[in-house]
């Protein structure tokens, strides 16, 4: 019989945002992913109780959420259950990418359709549903890396975290344009 490991929250993992230091952000960035490895859009109807159950003070959550006005995207909040991750839609998970040349790059995955790579202060974001745009982004990324798109793809990616079902977050990204 396989024993299920205990769930680990951010309070047990050094160097990440915890219930006591909870904050929201407007958009994902390299710096945000360095502060905390998983972010997701906040919907008060579905996420409020989950965040409070993870230890965030209800008044502090309301104050933080109140900083955002809704004429655009919902703010992102740090997912405090990190091991394994909960089954939430649209999670942005920090990952390391490696191109065929062996170069390691930081970025994120947003399963099942998007990923982003940070290079030279830019976020090169790819969306599988937009292949023409992805081709232009691949060219810009390759140029920034002093290479050609066919020399940086396929890439491998891996996160230190596990999905809600225990599977690792890893895979291969081939050119899809």
pLDDT in tens, 40-88: 999 999 999 999 999 999 999 999 999 887 666 789 999 999 988 999 9
H-state helical runs in the chain? 30-35, 44-53, 58-66, 131-144, 149-152
Copy the structure tokens of residue 118: 């940070």
The torsion region of residue 166 among left (phi > 0), alpha (psi -120 to 50) and beta comes to: left
pLDDT reported for residue 162: 92
Q: Would you kindly state where each structural domain of the chain is located, as residue ranges?
A: 8-83, 95-173
pLDDT in tens, 100-158: 999 999 999 997 789 999 999 999 999 999 999 999 999 999 999 999 988 999 999 99
Neighbouring C-beta atoms of residue 17, cutoff 10 Å: 19
> Is pLDDT of 170 > 90?
yes
CA torsion sign, 169 to 174 to 175 to 176? negative
> Is pLDDT of 5 > 70?
no
What contacts 4, CB < 8 A, 6 or more positions away? none
């Amino acid at each position: 019989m396989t024993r299920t490991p205990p769930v680990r929250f951010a309070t047990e993992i050094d160097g990440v945002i915890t219930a006591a230091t909870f904050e929201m952000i407007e958009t994902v960035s390299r710096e945000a992913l360095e502060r905390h490895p998983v972010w997701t859009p906040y919907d008060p109807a579905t996420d409020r109780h989950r965040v409070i159950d993870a230890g965030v003070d209800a008044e502090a959550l309301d104050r933080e959420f109140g900083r955002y006005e809704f004429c655009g995207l919902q703010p992102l909040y740090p997912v405090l259950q990190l091991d394994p991750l909960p089954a939430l839609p649209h999670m942005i998970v920090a990952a390391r990418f490696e191109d065929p040349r062996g170069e390691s790059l930081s970025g994120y995955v947003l399963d099942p359709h998007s990923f982003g790579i940070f290079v030279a202060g830019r976020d090169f974001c790819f969306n599988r549903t937009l292949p023409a745009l992805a081709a232009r982004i691949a060219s810009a990324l390759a140029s920034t890396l002093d290479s050609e798109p066919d020399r940086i793809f396929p890439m491998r990616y891996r996160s230190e975290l596990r999905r809600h079902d225990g599977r690792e977050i890893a895979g291969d990204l081939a050119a899809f344009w």
